[in-house]
Amino acid sequence: MTDEPTLREAADDSDFRIGAAIDPDALRSDPSYWRTASNEFNAVTPENALKMGPLRPSRDTYDFGDADAVVDFGDRNDMYVRGHVLVWHNQKPDWFQAWDYTDDQLREFLREHVHTVAGRYHGRIDAWDVVNEAVADDGSMRDTVWYDALGEDYLADAFRWADEVSDADLYYNDYGADAINEKSDAIYDLLERLLDRGAPIDGVGLQMHALGDHPDPDSVAENIRRFQDLGLDVQITEMDVAFHADDPPANPDKVQAEFYRDVIAACRDAGCDTVVTWGVHDASTWLRTFRDFSDRFTGDPLLFDDRYDEKPAYDAVKGALRD
């Protein structure tokens, strides 16, 4: 029997949150999944259950069963709970067609959705990703149903609506902006504009899907600091580390572990205290099922392998927390 602390214990001792995205079906059906999630992580987020599509099976119906399961799990295990996501252009309900609504009706539809979902979890969810991925890869505003109808105002409105019914911290969340680059520059400018207009934004989530080409940890730290200079908290919200399937490194476990360690160290050095991995173990990664990603990237991006055994990345993260 080992006396080694768990990852969760190392995080708790370091006043740090290390989390995972949670699948409610796996919670219900797989004791090893439940045990690993509860023993090794002190933060959770529903992977899909709070997205509009899964949450709304029909126009007038909400199904909170899966979302409640994850939030209840977090409550029972004294975890920090991140809500993901209130406003996004993807994973909308199949029945939703934008042309059925006028612009004013779309605004009311979105307001009602934010009020209903965020309001339900008042006092139970600690942080919300209010708006997700509103900026395109080239730094322009993403052309979405919400932007087409309401313009940039929809972002400020979404944060205000969430603030009206929730006591959680409110985040803007996006991918591909982890380091200093064209997209993170555009997100910085966007959040600065929204803050100047009085939008109640508390933080920014940097997803950190490190797929193939990995960002420079020093640039990640610099990026974190400049958002903090706007008065925003910064969290790493969806981290996983994979490689190009046709050109992986000679020792992928070692390279993966080093990158996890370097990001945790850079994050802590810059004053970021939360990193959430996008899944509990490799068998549950989205990379194995999402479109053509299973062909493009390696499918073992997390801290635990398919059998829930600790990988070198696990030890690297724990070592970075101890340091």
Collapsed DSSP state (helix, strand, coil) of residue 190: helix
**Which amino acid would we find at residue 242?**
A
Q: Provide CB contacts within 8 A for 186, sequence distance 6+.
A: 135, 139, 140
CB-CB neighbours of 241 under 10 Å = 24
Q: Provide CB contacts within 8 A for 8, sequence distance 6+.
A: 18, 39, 40, 41, 42
**Are 165 and 118 spatial neighbours (Cβ–Cβ below 8 Å)?**
yes
Strands 169-174, 233-242: pairing kind: unpaired
Separation between Cα atoms, residue 174 and residue 191, nearest integer Å: 12
Q: Provide CB contacts within 8 A for 66, sequence distance 6+.
A: 24, 25, 46, 48, 49, 54
Collapsed DSSP state (helix, strand, coil) of residue 227: helix
DSSP bridge partners of 61: 58
Catalytic residue among 108, 133, 164, 258: 133
- Is residue 182 part of the annotated active site? The answer reads no
DSSP bridge partners of 277: 20, 239
Instruction: Return the H-helix or E-strand segment holding 45.
Output: strand 43-46
Catalytic residue among 9, 222, 238, 310: 238
Q: What angle do CA 107, 67, 177 make, to 5 degrees?
A: 65
Strands 17-22, 274-277: pairing kind: parallel
Cα-Cα end-to-end distance for the chain = 24
- Is residue 310 part of the annotated active site? The answer reads no
**Which amino acid would we find at residue 180?**
I
C-alpha to C-alpha distances, 103 to 62, 87, 107, 210, 291, nearest whole angstrom: 23, 16, 6, 37, 32
Separation between Cα atoms, residue 159 and residue 287, nearest integer Å: 30
- Where in the sequence numbering do the catalytic residues fall? 133, 238
